[in-house]
Amino acid sequence: MTTPADNKNMLSKAFWKSRKGQRIFCIAGLIASVLFLLVQFGGDLGSFFPGRGSKNTLERELKKLQQDQERLKAELADLDAVRTVADSKFIDAWKKSVNGVPEVELRAMIEKTAKDMELRLNNISTVRKTTFNKDLALLELDVSVMTDLDTLTKFLLAVDKLKPALYWRRFEIRMANMFGMPGVNFSGTLRCGSDERPETVSERKKSPDPEQGKAVVK
């Protein structure tokens, strides 16, 4: 128990210079620091020493973050799969630097295929281009023919082997009479993807030079 003499001593400089006074000063400073931190951070010691409830909350938050991470991984995997499929569409697409001007060369390719199959086309339309996005366009042309089923089958199989890859967007087959012989009327629309991405330097080097082969006039 503190006596009046002790209180008097505590107010003296000699007391604070003593070992006992310095110890009390340090303890008082520590208490003041703790009180200051409590005021600054909400006045709750639980924030420094989490209890069971705080631990459970942290565990729930951590589990939620792990679930979000797994969900994001799955979404990224789905996006990569879509990107892979999209990139594969350009493999067999028409490339102007490689295959030529589609409005000319695509039509000529179908005509040659029909000729090789000894098939005379009733009609072949001009090539139409529809922009799908900045990297991809769709090329289409209509074909109609009257022939026997065997010749038509050979033509369809030959078209299926062409590169760049073509496919029938629509077609219609009806039975017909060919000069007293059974035949078929066929009409359909062929479609081809067109790679509209800018050419790379290597592709420009590979593309044919229109000036090559011209005679030099002196």
SS3 for the chain is CCCHHHHHHHCCHHHHHCHHHHHHHHHHHHHHHHHHHHHHCCCCHHHCCCCHHHHHHHHHHHHHHHHHHHHHHHHHHHHHHHHHHHHHCCCCCECHHHHCCHHHHHHHHHHHHHHHCCCCCCEECCCEEEECCCCEEEEEEEEEEEECHHHHHHHHHHHHCCCCCCEEEEEEEEEEEECCEEEEEEEEEEEEEEECCCCCHHHHHHCCCCCCCCCCCC
The pLDDT of residue 119: 93
Taking only the tens place, the pLDDT of each residue in 70-125 is 888 888 888 777 667 656 667 788 999 889 999 999 999 999 999 999 999 999 99
Instruction: Kindly report the pTM of this predicted structure.
Output: 0.53
Q: Minimum mean pLDDT among 150-164, 168-182, 189-203: which range?
A: 189-203
Average pLDDT over residues 124-136: 90
The pLDDT of residue 9: 59
The pLDDT of residue 210: 43
The pLDDT of residue 87: 65
The pLDDT of residue 122: 94
The pLDDT of residue 215: 40
Residue of higher predicted confidence among 21 and 158:
158
Taking only the tens place, the pLDDT of each residue in 158-188 is 999 999 999 999 999 998 887 778 889 999 9
Average pLDDT over residues 3-22: 60
